[in-house]
Amino acid sequence: MANTYEDYTVGASQTDFAFSFPYLDDTHVVVQLDDSTVDSPGGKFYTVSTGDYSIITSPSALIRFTTAPETGARIRIKRDSNSADALVDFENGSVLTEVELDRAYLHNLYLSEEIEEGSGKNTMTKDPVDGNYDADLAKIVDLADPTAAQDAATKNYVDTEIATERTARVADVDAEETARIAGDALKVAKAGDTMTGALTLPASDPTNGNHATNKTYVDAQIATSLATGIAGGPIDTVNIADDAITADKLANTAVTPGAYTATNLTVDAQGRITAAANGSASPTANEILTSLKTVDGTGSGLDADLLDGQEATAFAAASHTHTASNITDFDTEVSNNASVTANTAKVTNATHTGDVTGATALTLATVNSNVGSFTNASVTVNAKGLITAASSGSSASAYSSSWTSVSANNTSYSFTHNLGTKDLIINAYYATSNAGANQEHVNIYRRDYGCFIVFNSDNQITVTVGSSGFGSWSTGAFGIVTWASQFLKVVITQ
């Protein structure tokens, strides 16, 4: 772990970079950057101006950039204890304090650490962990060409050796290719080639399925297969290609070829149809109905036209009328009903007085002489719910302003209504245009969200819109909207 520097790769919008090494003075903290402005990025740092960052010491030490460096750049925060200046000047006869002795000692300690680690990697140092020298992505220049096997090689040496080797290899390949072409002239390519003359194979029979074989072996195997069916094993399902056997190769069954309807058929264990004959087609609904009609009636078990053994003519239709003569014993049953007799006595030739007068035809008494239609009516109703007097009244006074453009939150607007009173019902509305688009009602009792109303006189009010806007559901969820560029309307009734 380094004791005198910290390295970082800058993340997106990153401004803070912590460091843990101790230092004696802010001027000993050096910030370096390797970004796209460097001529040769990847090893050449430049020192960042102290005006572009600040050193934060609490709660922990870090460098904070005023503006975030570019993403992906390398940052190095290192300590340079400035060996040119002595931090403590000892004089004869002076008193040496602990602080001065510690400061002088730490200065020398820090300088030693910085030398050991290459002054913040400004010099190439040997890593104490893996034993390798670290060039910090910088180039090593002005090297001599190597002579021993383990010497560092220069670019020129490597390029020269590769070019020399390439020339030698190309010559070798050309010679090999010439020889191969001459030899290939006597060979058959794996694909797309032709051969003249016979290819003589060994006389012995093949022993593996992938071996090439001769004509004698093939002819013998075919002859045996045709004679016994078992050459090289039986010809079973595995050895028959899919869809290789057509209908012409299947044995005929006893069924007569042809088309059948409502078929009765017989199928054997191999799924073959061995017998087939035409059957009866399924009857249609009309055919079934016709058949049922031939057996419908009493005793058929269907009785489709009977209900509880009665024909349809024995029942009344859903819509019908009856006269008293059609009802058996109508008069007798009415006269025997005591309630009907009592009620009949109450209404027959009765004479009525009071609010309703008359005998057979009843008439309501006149309680209001002013008959007609009324607007905004004033009425008088008696204890029986009858209107005894009615007259038209005057409509309620009202005022509706035009849409007024609002410039900003917490601004005031006056409206003259000329209704001559402060006993009013006032409503305020906002819209997003002077045509009333997206109109919503506004709270009139809030100085912060909504609006607030002050009576200037019996004929004028002043509306002050909210200092923070107003509450709105225009987006489908409640939110606060500024009054700026909105429109205000006032509606007043008495």
Residue 250: per-residue pLDDT = 77
| DSSP string over 68-107 | PPPTT-EEEEEE---TTS-S----TTPPPPHHHHHHHHHH
The predicted structure's pLDDT at residue 287: 73
Residue with tokens 């688009």: 437
Tokens 């060994």 correspond to what residue? 202
pLDDT at 119: 66
Instruction: Report whether the peptide linkage leading into residue 234 is cis, meaning its omega lies within 30 degrees of zero.
Output: no
Q: Would you say the C-alpha torsion 58, 62, 63, 64 has a positive or negative sign?
A: negative
Assess contact for 489 and 400: CB atoms under 8 A: yes
Instruction: Return the biggest CA–CA distance within the chain.
Output: 155
DSSP character for 16? E
SS3 141: coil
pTM: 0.31
Residues 5 and 125: their CA atoms lie apart, in Å, by 14
Reported as half-sphere exposure (CB side, CA atoms, 13 A), residue 191 has a value of 0
Q: pLDDT value at position 299? A: 59
DSSP 266: E
Q: How many angstroms separate the CA atoms of 197 and 1, rounded?
A: 78
Beta bridge partners of 46: 33
Q: From first to last of its 494 residues, what are the pLDDT tens digits of the chain?
A: 578 999 999 999 999 999 999 999 999 999 999 888 766 555 578 899 999 999 999 999 999 999 999 999 999 999 999 888 888 888 888 888 999 999 999 999 998 888 888 765 566 666 667 768 766 666 777 788 888 888 888 888 889 889 998 898 888 888 888 888 777 766 777 787 787 777 777 878 888 888 888 888 888 877 777 666 555 555 666 666 777 777 777 778 888 888 888 788 898 888 888 898 887 767 777 777 777 677 666 656 555 566 666 766 667 777 777 676 666 676 777 777 777 666 665 555 566 666 777 666 677 778 887 888 887 778 888 888 888 888 876 665 689 999 999 999 999 999 999 999 999 999 999 999 999 999 999 998 888 889 999 999 999 999 999 999 998 887 788 889 999 999 999 999 98
Query: For position 386, what pLDDT does the model report?
Result: 85
pLDDT of residue 376: 72
- The residue among 280, 285, 250, 289 whose CA lies nearest residue 268 is 250
Which of 464, 460, 487, 456 shows the shortest CA–CA distance to 412?
464
pLDDT at position 235 is 61
Dihedral, CA of residue 33, residue 35, residue 37 and residue 43, to nearest 10: 80
Q: How many residues does the chain have?
A: 494
Tokens of 447: 């100085």
Which among 253, 249, 287, 290 is positioned nearest to 269, based on CA atoms?
Answer: 253
Token pair of 75 as six digits:
């940052």
CATH match for 398-493 among 3.90.1150.10, 2.60.40.10, 3.40.50.970, 3.40.50.10210: 2.60.40.10
Degrees to nearest 5, angle at CA 35 with 15 and 78: 65
The token duo for 321 is 């009328």
Alpha helices in 98-154 (DSSP H): 98-116, 118-121
For the chain, domain boundaries: 5-134, 347-395, 398-493
Q: Residue 383 has what pLDDT?
A: 85
Closest CA to 34 of 68, 76, 74, 78: 74
Listed as own residue / partner, the contacts of 97-100 with beta carbons closer than 8 Å and 24 or more positions apart are none
The reported pLDDT for the residue numbered 375 is: 76
Q: What is the pLDDT of residue 427?
A: 93
Residue with tokens 């031939």: 294
Helix (H, G, I), strand (E, B) or coil at 446: coil
What whole-number distance in Å separates Cα of residue 22 and Cα of residue 17? Answer: 15
Residue 422 CA to its chain's centroid (Å): 55
- The DSSP element (H or E) to which 451 belongs, if any, is strand 451-455
The reported pLDDT for the residue numbered 397 is 63
